[in-house]
Amino acid sequence: MVTLALSKGRILEESIPLLERAGIVPEEDLTQTRRLIVGTSVPDIRLVVIRAADVPTYVRYGAADLGIAGKDVLLEDGGEGLYELADLGIAACRLMVASPAGGTGREGARAWTRLRVATKYVRITERYFASRGIQADIIHLYGSMELAPLVGLADRIVDLVSSGRTLAANGLEATDHVLDVSAWLVANPAAMKMKYEALRPVIASLAKERGK
């Protein structure tokens, strides 16, 4: 049995057509079902559907042999104990620094000392500012980062941007590019040894359909 971990949300929406083109058709509508383990048209392949940030954990511990996870999640996780096999080219976006549109005046005196940056991506953000020699206090949020500058919680955010509409709707503008993001196929290293014969065709067909 091969277990492939997918994450809910955007990655799932773009993974389903990729899987189907690769001949792996889920037995249920993954966007509707409440089941967390779903079989496929390929008898020995099953899917588990979990939170995006949990995909590296399932794959690292071998609870899933393969997984599809955003580069943002993989970098934030650290990626130890995972093989990053292929960039699938789906769910593409950019990790950006953003701040209130129309300048810096609004930050006031705090801008002269340390910057406060709200993000879900603490590790990536720490590394980004440190590598530029900028002192920043990182405020860890789990979602709705766009709110933080509007209520005085932070001066900047680091968040994913695709169309830019969420930033615009909240009077923010992207100022600096941190990372290009897309979803990658990852594997458990032990499974790659023990189950290589079973995994090889799955990996080959997913990698072949990438970015189409």
Residues that bind Mg ion (CB under 5 A): 9
State which amino acid sits at residue 48: V
Q: Per-residue string for binding with ligand PRT, 168-207, x by CB under 6 A?
A: -------------x-x------------------------
Cα separation, 88 vs 63, in Å, equals: 21
Q: Which is nearer to ligand PRT, 131 or 163 (CB)?
A: 163
Name, in order, each residue with C-beta under 8 angstroms of 119's C-beta and a sequence gap of 6 or more. 125, 138, 139, 140, 141, 145, 157, 158, 159
Q: Which does 108 bind (CB under 5 to 8 A by kind): ligand PRT, Mg ion, none?
A: none
Cα separation, 67 vs 58, in Å, equals: 8
Q: Cα–Cα distances in Å, from 19 out to 12, 23, 65, 87, 152?
A: 10, 6, 16, 14, 43
Q: Which is nearer to Mg ion, 7 or 99 (CB)?
A: 7
Q: Which does 7 bind (CB under 5 to 8 A by kind): Mg ion, ligand PRT, none?
A: ligand PRT
Least spacing, CB of residue 44 vs Mg ion, in Å: 29
Would you tell me which residues interact with ligand PRT (CB under 6 A)? 7-11, 51-53, 70, 72-73, 91, 93, 143, 159-166, 181, 183
